[in-house]
Amino acid sequence: MDFSRYRKRSPWILHYNAGSCNGCDIEILAALSPRYDLERFGVLNSGNPKQSDIFLVTGPVTYRSRERLVELYNQMPEPKVVIALGSCTCTGGVFRGMYNVEDGIDRYIPVDVYIPGCAASPELIIDGVVQALDILEKKTKERENAKRLYSEPTTENGITDRSNSAQKIGTGGFSPEEMKPNSPERRENEED
Amino acid sequence: MNTVWIILAPLIGGLLYGVERIVRARMQGRKGPPLLQPFYDMFKLLDKRPLLVNPAHVLLGIMHFITLWIAVGLIITGTNLLFVIFVHLLASIFLVASGFSVRSVYSHIGANRELLTMVAYEPLLILIAAGFYLKNGYFSIELIHEGEPLLGSLWMLFGALLLVIPIKLKKSPFDAAEAHQEIVGGVEVEYSGVYFEFLYMAKWLEYIFVYLLVILFAGNSVMMAIVLVSSVFLLVNLVDNATARVRIPHLIAITLGIGLTLSILNLIGVGYGL
């Protein structure tokens, strides 16, 4: 039986704050509140990566939050979609180029929907989630990996081991010299 | 007839859960999800890629679901009330064991809290069974259903049951065992996809189990059973919407302090034939 059409009817959201100023987070809560009532579409803010379908990320990704970001992404079972919510999450926003943030989450994980705005309004969030649902419906159960991993997931006897995949990403593949804001290596990496 | 009800029990529980989500939303001035939302969730979970943590973890989760189903089935067939309560206890123990079988810290905290809530509500359930025995002279659920309504003489024990219901259904103020967002669902944190469905369905069965206990107080009066279940349903959801979560030591203190006092007073009263 094909259950893929039910994906649209019960999207469970995992919300992660990767160093956001809380502006977007407040708007997410507003979207869940009685005025906008996302729950009427079956949306649930589950808070558990293993039971979620939509990964809703806010914030420009501080260095401390990178490992968590990748770990959460890895723990989500496919099919899954990622929404980058707010200007910071899409591009780095006003923090772009600063020494303590990565410029947007798409350096680490593949993003399906970008929602601009500082902060994004609840209407935009609902629009973005609806877009994400269309993508979710078409996705397959193929494994999707983060762009940078400490170790690749291994499969043994049909059991996939994803542990340690995000540990010690540390500098995200950069050496300490390369981590300096305007180092040529970093700029080069930004271009691709 | 009983067999049909036993097979349908999880489905009815799912419908009850759907109704409850709507009622809760309406109380908050929201429209709420569709009635069949819990079943949409189930179909979606079937479609997820399964992630296995370890086989024992999943096996214990399934055993929790099956044992709970057996407990509900035993109430429907009308066996010994005390036996049903102990079978239900076994189901809870499987859940706790599954929580300890993985390395997740949240799962361990959840399992710990699950154990502590069992300390809080299990004595009350046993005292409720004792109350029925003192009043009637038997534990048989079938005979309780044929007898007179006992709410009048056991109303304090009914009050104790009202304290147990929010704990079993994971409702505020007594939802510290699950504590969404705080400990990410407690014991269910490591379940995903198909395996989570068993825990999800077990949650529905808890609804059926609890409301079947409520019906016991109505005896042979169908009218009274309907009134009791619907008023308890509304009350539990109203309290859920209106209160904040209490910490686990307070949960135990409140449940045992008030619940044990009420039930022991009631038992003494029944013992002296009041």
- The predicted-structure confidence for A144-183, as pLDDT tens digits, reads as follows 777 665 556 666 666 666 555 554 444 445 555 554 545 5
Chain B: give the shortest CA distance to residue A22, in Å: 17
Residue B272: C-alpha distances to residues A102, A130, B231, B267 (Å): 74, 65, 30, 9
Share above pLDDT 90 across residues of chain B, in percent, rounded to a whole number: 33
- Kindly state the average pLDDT of the residues B206-210: 91
Cβ neighbours, 10 Å, residue A20: 23
The span from the CA of A53 to the CA of A132, in Å, is: 10
- The proportion of chain B whose per-residue pLDDT surpasses 70, expressed as a percent, equals 100
Q: Which of B31, B43, B192 sits opposite A3 (nearest CB)?
A: B43
Q: Does the domain made of A4-147 have the CATH classification 3.40.50.12280? A: yes
Residues contacting residue A1 through CB under 8 Å, at least 6 positions apart = none
pLDDT value of position A153: 60
Structure confidence by residue, pLDDT tens digits, B56-82: 888 999 999 999 999 999 999 888 889
| Chain B residue whose CA is closest to A33 | B30
Domain ranges of chain A: 4-147
pLDDT value at position B209? 92
Helical (H) or strand (E) element with B240 = helix B222-242
Q: Which residues have a Cβ under 8 Å from the Cβ of A101 and sit 6 or more positions away?
A: A19, A60, A61, A62, A63, A88, A92, A95
pLDDT reading at B199 higher than 60: yes
Please give the Cα distance from B58 to B60 (Å, whole number): 5
Place of tokens 């979609």: A81
Q: Is the pLDDT of residue A191 over 50?
A: no
Side chain identity at A49, as an amino acid letter?
P
Question: Are A78 and B28 within 8 A, CB to CB?
Answer: no
* pLDDT 10s digits, A44-73: 888 888 888 899 899 888 877 877 888 888
| pLDDT level of residue B149 (50, 70, 90 thresholds) | confident
* pLDDT tens for each residue of A89-104: 888 888 887 877 877 8
pLDDT value at position B67? Answer: 93
With an 8 Å Cβ cutoff, is B194 touching chain A?
A: no
Percentage of residues in chain A having pLDDT higher than 70: 76
d(CA B127, CA B125): 5
Task: Identify which of B156, B12, B46, B9 has the alpha carbon closest to the alpha carbon of residue A9.
Answer: B46
CB contact under 8 A, A141 and B49: yes
* pLDDT tens sequence across B221-261: 888 889 989 999 999 999 988 888 888 899 999 999 999 99
DSSP element (H, E) containing A66: helix A66-75
Please state the ipTM of this predicted complex: 0.77
HSE-up (13 A, CA, CB side) for residue A51? 24
Mean pLDDT throughout B147-164?
85
The model's pTM is 0.83
> What band does A192 get if pLDDT is binned at 50, 70 and 90?
very low
Alpha carbons B109 and B129: distance in angstroms, whole number: 30
For range B139-166, the mean pLDDT? 85
Least confident of A142-146, B98-102, B206-210, B252-256: A142-146
Which chain B positions have a beta carbon within 8 Å of A51's beta carbon?
A: 45, 185, 188, 191-192, 196
